Every structure is written in C-alpha cells, then in structure tokens.
C-alpha cells in the first residue's frame, strides 16, 4: 500500500494524500501540502506534497485510501505500569513546588498487540469522529499514526493567525466543580500567558474569555486568541515559534527543561508523533493553513500499538487524580476509534 496522509477539518471537509510524497523545508506554493513532523521537530523537510490529493467525504474515503481487502483491527491492550510514570510525576512536582518549573506534561503510553486486521481502516473512524475535532493520519508501510484532536496549534490565512489555549480537563458531568477548580484554571492560564507572550512578538494579540470545549467525552478549558501579524511568517517558522506549548510541553520553555522533558519522554517510550504539530494547507484559492496538535490518537509499528496520553502537572496536582485523567483521555480515544 502507498503512503497515506489524511487531514479532516471540524466542518467535515477532508483531504487524503497518496504517496510518493515530495518533501520540502518550506511550504511550497499552491497548497495541497501536509506538515508532518515529530515532537522534537527533527525532520528538516516536514512539508509533504502527495503525488495525488483528493478531497473526500466519510463515504468516499475507501476510494481514496484503497483498502485492498484490509479489515478493521482488533487490539489487545495491556494495563500500563505505574512505576516510571510515578517517578517522573514526583520529580516534576518537586521542581514545580520549588518554583523552578511552572508546568510540565509527562506522557504515559498504554501498549497493545494488533491480533488481527489493519489499523489503516481506523481512518474511517477518524472521518466520523465527534465535532470539535481535527482528524489526522500518516501511514507508511507497516507503521503509522492517526487520531482526532481537539487542539488547534494555529490557523493562518494571510496576516491573520488564530490559536487556542486548550488545557484543564474534567468529565462532562463534573462541569460545575470544574468551572471554579483553581488548579485546572492555573494549568490553563499558564498556556494562555505563554501564547500571549510568544505571539505578542509577532503582532497585537487579542484574547477571548475562557470558555469550555467539549470534545469526545472530555471537557476542557479553551481560550481563543488571535493576532494580526506585523509581517508575514512561513507557517513552518511559526510552528518553531510556538511549539511545544505548555499544553503538551513545559514552562519555562527553555532548553534545560525541554531536555528534561525529552528525557522523560524517552524513558517512558513515548511515540514521536504524540503532541507534535500536524498540518495541512488547503489547495486552490484558499491557501488557509491548519496546524493542530497530534494528541488523542494511536500509533503502531508492525503488530505493536501505542496509545499515549499526557497530563499537565502543576503545584496542585495529585497523582491519583492525574492517573484517572490519563485513563479518561485514553478511553476517549478507544471509544472514538470504536476499539
Ligand atoms: C496531553 C493531552 O491533552 C492536553 C492536556 C490537557 C490537560 O492536561 O488538561 C488538556 C488538553 C490537551 O492540551 C492528551 O490528550 O493526552
């Protein structure tokens, strides 16, 4: 099967690209190109232009993807162990309480075995994922990742850039308590402050009041921000400017702490796609660039599947609460993918 990239907007419009893909270091003119990288932005040529691009709908996906007889997968999940994560959690919390660090997002990965079928078929579920999410997928021979994320890194068109702070999590039933939860608000406002400062160097930033986002069985705080750029910036350069935000990274976003974050991610064997930017520039007249944060998804290599989830740790975080939040996030993915 050819390499495949997929991107779906919250309004349902979607595109599938079939390989071979040509790689570029800067977004090529004319759009119709995907941005695919890992969390560390290690690919210097992240813009991937497919040999063939098709705008698709949920019911025309199979035409674009060509299943070749692939069946829906069955995955047997193993319960994740607590030890390593607990150690990372304690160390991060200690750094936060000593006021050296404000926030960091460690990631726990549940692992599974694909006992039958092919995960490529899960693209169908990505196409019909709940509203308020962006679907993404990148599939190569024998490996890939896909998901539906509620988190926009930015949307850019001309000199106008829109973004959101999305952080702070609860179950929909816990809404009343959530709205006044000091720890969740702090976790969220750290991200707002970060984005305001970062984008403030590019133009005048406007912030909407903190609101709620309900996406796929979870509730988050969401604050929309926008900026009118003083001068144009290539979207790949804008990624480097803002990624990783403290919604999936750390604050301060200094090399010292980023190195520590990478260390935890390696120790916990977090798949590289998780928390990475994933994007698409619309073809034709529009040329709108959509860049999202690849969370709420799974990855696989051969018969091994990985299901990561992360949680922001601040001074007020308690292990049992965060452990539950990690589980809720993974359950939301499993349910969205119908696994
Ligand atoms: C890291 C994840 O989600 C991020 C972390 C959140 C939080 O800590 O409250 C909320 C939304 C996302 O920014 C995830 O879904 O795994």
Q: Structure pTM?
A: 0.97
Report the alpha-carbon distance of residue 27 to residue 281 in Å, rounded: 8
Specify the pLDDT at position 285: 83
Residue 61 CA, ligand 1 centroid: distance in Å: 29
Specify the pLDDT at position 131: 84
Specify the pLDDT at position 59: 84
Residue 247 CA, ligand 1 centroid: distance in Å: 6
pLDDT along the chain (339 residues), means of 10: 93 95 96 98 98 92 81 96 94 96 98 97 95 96 97 96 97 93 96 98 97 92 98 96 98 97 97 98 92 98 98 94 96 96
Residue 148 CA, ligand 1 centroid: distance in Å: 13
Preceding omega of 252 cis (within 30 degrees of 0): yes
Q: Which residues pair with 301 in a beta bridge?
A: 143, 304
Both structure tokens of 194 = 């970060």
Ligand 1 proximal residues by C-beta, below 6 Å? 105, 151, 166-169, 187, 220, 247-248, 295-296, 309-312, 329
The beta strands (E) that lie in 39-177 are given as 47-56, 74-78, 103-104, 107-116, 134-140, 143-149, 152-157, 160-170
Residue 216 CA, ligand 1 centroid: distance in Å: 13
Q: Among residues 244, 232, 225, 208, which one has the least CA distance to residue 157? A: 232
Specify the pLDDT at position 55: 96
Q: Among residues 115, 203, 116, 119, which one has the least CA distance to residue 156? A: 203
Specify the pLDDT at position 62: 82
Topology annotation, domain 4-336: Anthranilate synthase (3.60.120)
């Amino acid at each position: 099967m050819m390499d495949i990239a997929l991107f779906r907007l919250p309004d349902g419009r979607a595109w599938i690209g079939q390989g071979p893909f040509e790689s570029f270091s800067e977004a090529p003119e004319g759009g119709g190109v995907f941005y695919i990288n890992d969390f560390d932005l290690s690919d210097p040529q992240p813009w991937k232009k497919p040999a063939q691009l098709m705008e698709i709908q949920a019911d025309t996906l199979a035409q674009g993807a060509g299943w070749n007889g692939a069946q829906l997968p069955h995955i047997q999940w193993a319960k994740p162990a607590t030890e390593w994560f607990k150690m990372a959690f304690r160390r991060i919390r200690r750094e936060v309480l000593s006021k050296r660090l404000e926030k960091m997002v460690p990631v726990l990965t549940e692992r599974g075995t694909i006992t039958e079928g092919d995960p490529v078929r899960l693209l169908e579920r990505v196409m019909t994922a709940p509203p308020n999410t962006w679907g993404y997928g990148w599939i190569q021979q024998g490996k890939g990742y896909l998901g539906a994320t509620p988190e926009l890194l930015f949307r850019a068109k001309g000199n106008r850039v829109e973004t959101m702070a999305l952080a702070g999590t609860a179950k929909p039933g816990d809404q009343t308590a959530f709205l006044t939860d000091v720890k969740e608000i702090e976790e969220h406002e750290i991200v707002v402050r970060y984005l305001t400062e970062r984008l403030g160097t590019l133009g005048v930033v406007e912030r909407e009041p903190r609101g709620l986002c309900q996406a796929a069985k979870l509730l988050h705080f969401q604050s929309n921000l926008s900026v009118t750029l003083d001068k144009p910036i290539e979207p790949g350069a804008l990624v480097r400017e803002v990624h990783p935000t403290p919604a999936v990274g750390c604050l301060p976003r200094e090399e010292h702490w980023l190195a520590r974050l990478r260390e935890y991610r390696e120790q916990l064997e977090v798949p590289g796609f998780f928390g990475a930017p994933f994007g698409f520039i619309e073809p034709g007249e529009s040329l709108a660039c959509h860049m999202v944060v690849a969370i709420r998804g799974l990855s696989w290599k051969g018969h091994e599947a990985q299901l990561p989830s992360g949680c922001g740790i601040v001074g007020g975080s308690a292990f049992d609460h965060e452990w539950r939040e990690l589980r809720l996030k993974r359950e939301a993915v499993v349910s969205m993918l119908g696994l």
